[in-house]
Structure 1
Amino acid sequence: MTAHRILSWTPAAIVFDCDGTLMDTERHWQDARDLVLREYGFAPAPGFAERAKGLHYTECGRLMADEAGRPDLTAEMTGLLLEHFRDRVADNPVTMPGARELVLAGAKFAPLAVASNCPKEVVEDCLERAALLDSFAHIAVPDSETRPKPHPDVYLTAARHCGADPADTLAVEDSYCGIQSAARAGMRVMGVGPRPAERELGLVDLWVRTLDQPDVRRWAGDRVPRQTPRCADPDEVTGDLTHPAKG
């Protein structure tokens, strides 16, 4: 890892993952996955939670159906997964430690965006319940033209809407799937979570246990506030952002 690439640097934009990074919702996805499998009489195999973490919810539904040996149940399981997840988020919209503080501090010196594999309305609902939605100028999610993580598309879209080159953009992520996406977009990556594996460590510039870590708080507080607090219109961005080189 090269921590100085983040802690001695002011990014032109910051793009956050949502589940498990900003919001304490990864456990809700896990609970929802387990509940769906149990409802169909199946139990998750060892390592299932790690394989499912960070996937687009439709891919997760397909994975559950495959795990159960019932690919014909993919659509049903996917629908139930999203329903159970939204019920749990509504009951407990909690932010991750340090997430609110980093968002508020970061918004003073860089435009902020979210890149998520969740449906946009789910992300907006989570952030609105946590009183953070207004801090973000754009939310990038998969659609008919934007592939989900681990493809780089959502991160490239977020950077473009912030008027920033991906090489000048910081991504904040907690999952291997998301870290792959940000790294493929050419961004510097701050990974967050308790137990990084070598595959994660090899792709991030800095790994922190929580966003409340003292060096992260100090870094955010030391940045110079920007004079024009807005995200640019994507049409104003010049240059080819499709295949950026990681800087």
Structure 2
Amino acid sequence: MPTRTLPLLRWSPKAVVFDCDGTLMDTERHWQEARNRAFKAFGLRPPHGFAQRAKGVHYADCGRLMAEETQKPELATGLTRALLEHFLALVADEPLTMPGAVEFVRLLSGRLPLAVASNCPAEVVEESLAWAGLRRHFQHVVVPSGTGGRTADADPATRQRPGDLRPKPWPDVYATAARLCGVRPEDALAVEDSLTGVESARRAGLRVVGVGPRPAEEEAGRAELWVSTLHAPELLAWAREWQAGPALP
């Protein structure tokens, strides 16, 4: 294990904020298929390497990127709408969790405040987590404004107001999730699979564990620890040592 990870492994977070797509839910392949279907619907071919560039990007920004890279800027609105419609249909048919996600969330549930910070529309996050049996473990779900943005609080007064939160890589969703969990950003841990999300969490002041295929070393170094899955032995051993965070409601 690289020595640079040791300071992180001696630290206990007071809250944990998870990304959803590709971290908790195996939906990245649905986004990829939705992009392919949207391109096809408009008679377009996906540009080379587009899937990697689109990973972790807010779907509205992705629709604009699809239009720009195919030199069809006038199709941005239609591509964005088609992308979301195809994705919702795919994820409803086949909701899957990432390896180790259920076990890791259950290990932490009730011990620390847990939240989700996602670039996806709120209904996608809520329904995906519910289908997977995970929704009840999270006190808050935070998404960018303009995507059904809200938290999971029951009091409507605590919900996000229009224009409040920008998507990743802006820090807004992670900063808000930490605040709602009742901790300072520097006391919260982010769990992310995309470099876009890692950047968002770092800019918000959270410490970051990356999960999934390890990127190039320079990019992987933006997270303080990178594990292949959420049931990585070093991650589980570390998590079992964490002290309880703020009192849960």
What TM-score do you get using the length of structure 2 for normalisation?
A: 0.88
Q: 2:112 maps to what in 1?
A: 110
Does the aligned pair in 2 maintain the 1:18–1:115 contact within 8 Å?
Answer: yes
Does the aligned pair in 2 maintain the 1:12–1:169 contact within 8 Å?
Answer: yes
**Structure 1 counterpart of 2:198, which letter?**
I
User: Residue 3 of structure 1: SS of its match in structure 2?
Assistant: helix
Distance in 2 separating the partners of 1:178 and 1:228: 27
Instruction: Tell me if 1:6 matches 2:8.
Output: yes
Q: Which runs of 4+ in 1 moved over 6 A?
A: none
Q: 1:59 maps to what in 2?
A: 61
Output the aligned Cα RMSD: 1.4
Does the aligned pair in 1 maintain the 2:57–2:168 contact within 8 Å?
Answer: yes
Deviation at residue 227 of structure 1 after TM alignment: 7.5
Distance in 2 separating the partners of 1:29 and 1:60: 10
Sequence identity of aligned pairs in percent? 55
**Structure 2 counterpart of 1:146, which letter?**
L
**Structure 2 counterpart of 1:11, which letter?**
P
Deviation at residue 212 of structure 1 after TM alignment: 1.2
Distance in 2 separating the partners of 1:145 and 1:162: 18
Deviates more, 1:151-160 or 1:41-50: 41-50
1:165 is matched with which residue: 184, 192, 213? 184
Instruction: Tell me if 1:81 matches 2:83.
Output: yes
Distance in 1 separating the partners of 2:216 and 2:170: 20
Q: 1:221 to 1:32 in 2, by over 3 A?
A: same
**Structure 2 counterpart of 1:186, which letter?**
G
What TM-score do you get using the length of structure 1 for normalisation?
A: 0.89
Q: 1:237 maps to what in 2?
A: none
Runs (5+) with no aligned partner, structure 1: 231-247
Aligned length: 230
Deviation at residue 226 of structure 1 after TM alignment: 5.1
1:212 is matched with which residue: 231, 236, 240? 231
Runs (5+) with no aligned partner, structure 2: 146-162
Does the aligned pair in 2 maintain the 1:13–1:111 contact within 8 Å?
Answer: yes
Q: Give CA-to-partner distance per residue, 1:126-165, whole Å, 9 cap, x none.
A: 1011010111111111111111100000000000000010
User: Matches of residues 61-210 of structure 1 in structure 2 within 5 Å?
Assistant: 61-143=63-145, 144-210=163-229
Q: 1:203 to 1:162 in 2, by over 3 A?
A: same
Q: 1:234 maps to what in 2?
A: none
